[in-house]
Amino acid sequence: MKKVIGWSLGIYLVFGLFIAWYLFLGANTDIPAQLKGSPADPQTFMNERELLLSEEYSKIKNLLFFLSVPFEWLIYTLVLVIGISAKFRDWSKVSAKFSILQTAIYLFWLSLLVEVLSFPLSWISYNVSKTYNITVQSTQSWMKDLLIDFWVNYALMILIVGVLFWLIRRNEKRWWFHAWLLSIPFSMFLMFVQPVIIDPLYNDFFPLTNKELETKILEMADRADIPADHVFEVNMSEKTNSLNAYVTGIGSNSRIVLWDTTLQRLNENEILFIMAHEMGHYVMKHIYIGIAGYLVLTLVGLFIISKFMSFMIRKWGHIFKISSVKDIAVLPVFLLLISVLSFVSDPVSNAVSRHQEKSADLYALEMTDDNKAAVSSFQELSKAGLSQVNPPFLVKIFRYGHPTMLERITYTNEFEKSEE
């Protein structure tokens, strides 16, 4: 046990030092010589202070990201090796008679422990964003969102974990396939209810108050054969200075949403370009392609997890005080493997997402025929979020679901509308 703990802490420390060296000293974020002085060069649209802050802020936030992911793995490893998971299982069995109540009790203690141990990094991340004036959310409001996250996730986990272990106990060899089959309607249900039930827990949504702008956006939607009665605005200015717009939900619950910070900072042409971009996602059915890709990855992931879980319990179950994959105490193994597989698959899913985002950009350029508004909107997004225009390679492949701002501004500036 001491060896496992020592090696885990040592590997995490070495990894952290390497990432810090890579982000602050090793990676090259300079603009290519041929793009110096172009609209993609941040020196043409940022002042010296913004340039300095964007580099500092991006490096710190990227470091926190790369530290937080393996830190989660470290937590689950220690919970297993020290025997905490087995102890929570024993508590749950003593505290309740029925299986679902035992699951709820076990999940509460595990979720609370992970939340408490993860809190310092979350707190640092929040304060960094506040220091650089990206986050303007009060501590009270931030803590409220954290509590909502905890209870929403806890409620969902009771349902998911309860069903998962019922399947494992019924069919130890093929539970992964049955779990995948059930995940399909469950995922669809969550995507359907998220815009109307989950999202409003965090923010206020309402139809766009600028009716003249809404009319123009709906005219664009009509030209693209998109059935839309409203564009939604969300009150984000109480929490952040960043800009965003997105498509969420499926079917009749689909929504195009604009942050109010975007409305305050961008001009009408820039907003229309962003809306055309979101319409591009709808027209090219990216949300359904994303669902299909998610389901394929889930199927493969659950199969891999089933094999690794059985192997890990056979090899180290005596250390974890877990004798079978049917034991609820094996859940940290499941969560650990999900996190690792998700991180490993990020470069692939992000690459697909970047391709879709570029397609949506090009669609918006075709629809608006306004390169100037597109370029200026990307420049404003960079300034508002203090994001690096040309991030390091590892940051791009693991964190960027959009093309880099260097790429977006360059191909947008060079775009020529195709002749019909």
Q: Note the pLDDT tens digit of each residue in 178-188.
A: 999 999 888 88
Q: Is residue 137 part of a domain?
A: no
> Is residue 244 domain-resident?
no
350, part of any domain: yes
Catalogue the active-site residues.
Answer: 278, 361
Report percent pLDDT > 90 for the chain. 68
pTM tops 0.75:
yes
- Closest to 382 measured CA to CA, from 402, 398, 354: 402
Minimal CA–CA distance to 262: which of 332, 220, 213, 298?
213
226 lies in some domain: no
Neighbours of 272 (CB within 10 A): 22
Assess whether pLDDT exceeds 80 at residue 236. Answer: yes
Provide mean pLDDT across the span 83-93: 94
The answer as to whether 143 is a domain residue is: no
Report pLDDT digits (tens) over 112-160.
Answer: 999 999 999 999 999 999 999 999 999 999 999 999 999 999 999 999 9
**Is residue 381's pLDDT more than 50?**
yes
- pLDDT attached to residue 420: 47
Q: pLDDT tens digit string along 186-231? A: 888 887 777 778 788 888 888 888 888 888 888 888 887 777 677 8
- Domain extent, residue 76, equals 2-88+172-202+286-413
Task: Please give the tally of structural domains in the chain.
Answer: 1
297 occurs within a structural domain: yes
- Residue numbers in the known binding site are 277, 281, 357
Residue 224 forms part of a structural domain: no
Annotated binding site for Zn(2+): 277, 281, 357
Average pLDDT over residues 67-86: 94
pLDDT digits (tens, 9 = 90+) for 262-301: 998 999 999 999 989 988 988 898 888 888 898 999 999 9
In a domain, 39, yes or no: yes
Q: Mean per-residue pLDDT for 43-69?
A: 94
